[in-house]
Structure 1
Amino acid sequence: MTSTRRNTAVAFFDTFKTLSVQDAISIRTPTCRHIFTPASISPPPPLDNAQFAAHISRLKEIIASFPVTTKEISEDQEKNQVIIWATAQAEFHTELKDAGISDEEWAYKGEYVFILTMDETGQKIDRVVEFLDSKATERLRELMARARANK
């Protein structure tokens, strides 16, 4: 049987398929914080809901979809958390890809670990800790800059 926490985690990942700001914010508590890590990649500071919504909106300008595939998921009932090991692939808007690099080079894929802390109901996320793939994130930043320049 699937728990409410697990269903909420799946709903969180589903928002990356469409990059819908409304869907992403709807499953977060009003005080939710999104924390990117590790510090070695100079991540942005923690994002509140308004900042996270702006982040998703900026992504949507250059990325059509960012589907997440779960490799492993586990729950910590005591901490009311779901921990997910996943991969994700950025699918850039076709018109923003230039011929200067191949389609294979535009095909970004990264590996992530998410720790989602839920509210007491398990239906809303109160805190996200996202461990980014440090090597792949460097490449993603390059691709994003290139796509923005092509916009």
Structure 2
Amino acid sequence: MATQESARVRTANEFLHVFTTLDTTPLQTILAPNYHHTFGPNSLTGFGPYDKPGFIKHVSGLFQFLTTFPVIPVETIDSESSNAVWVWTKTDAQFKEEVRNGEKVEDWVYKGENMFMFWFDGEGRISRCVELVDSKKTVDELLPLMGRARANLLRGEGGE
């Protein structure tokens, strides 16, 4: 028996799809004015917390390094009573050719997992998100790749 997807789940999926396109335009309407984004676990430092403009700027910043960063839902829990959606996801960062600096694509692979917990306001917009990341893979794999990408980009712009 097929069930109707709720407006909450559709909005959560629209949020996740932003990472595929890296076009932040949909965030303007699906995030509440008082939006708050927190990364976890707390042992992972240097990310947020963000308000709505800060989070949009954070996502926009990914575009300088990535062509796409698909966030694919694995399992979704929709709670009408809590006005919340939780989504377990898999991710696949695709780095731009210019930041790879001639290195093979295989040397720039990052596949991760995240858990997004969304809470909604009375108008159906996301008011809060707690994003739990795989801190070990983020620290051991993603952050070094982003550092290399930033260094290669600076090198290509004549910086050191």
Q: TM-score, normalised by structure 2?
A: 0.87
% identical equivalent positions: 37
Q: Deviations over 1:62-86 (max 9, x none)?
A: 1111111111001111110000000
Secondary structure of 1:41's partner? Answer: coil
Secondary structure of 1:64's partner? Answer: strand
State how far apart, in whole Å, the 2-side matches of 1:50 and 1:81 are. Answer: 22
Which entry has the higher C-alpha Rg, 1 or 2? 2
- Read off the aligned partner of 2:116 and give its amino acid letter: F
Shift of residue 107, structure 1, vs aligned partner: 1.3
Map of 1:21 onto structure 2: 24
State how far apart, in whole Å, the 1-side matches of 2:46 and 2:86 are. Answer: 20
Map of 1:49 onto structure 2: 52
Unmatched tracts of structure 1, length 5 or more: none
Secondary structure of 1:40's partner? Answer: coil
State how far apart, in whole Å, the 1-side matches of 2:42 and 2:152 are. Answer: 29
State how far apart, in whole Å, the 2-side matches of 1:106 and 1:26 are. Answer: 33
Unmatched tracts of structure 2, length 5 or more: 154-160
Map of 1:105 onto structure 2: 107
Shift of residue 20, structure 1, vs aligned partner: 1.1
CA contact (8 A) 1:36 1:43 kept: no
State how far apart, in whole Å, the 2-side matches of 1:43 and 1:129 are. Answer: 15
Asked whether 1:4 is paired with 2:7, we answer yes
Asked whether 1:131 is paired with 2:139, we answer no
Map of 2:89 onto structure 1: 86
Secondary structure of 1:79's partner? Answer: coil
Q: TM-score, normalised by structure 1?
A: 0.92
Shift of residue 105, structure 1, vs aligned partner: 2.9
Shift of residue 55, structure 1, vs aligned partner: 0.7
Map of 1:115 onto structure 2: 117
State how far apart, in whole Å, the 2-side matches of 1:12 and 1:54 are. Answer: 15
State how far apart, in whole Å, the 2-side matches of 1:51 and 1:12 are. Answer: 15
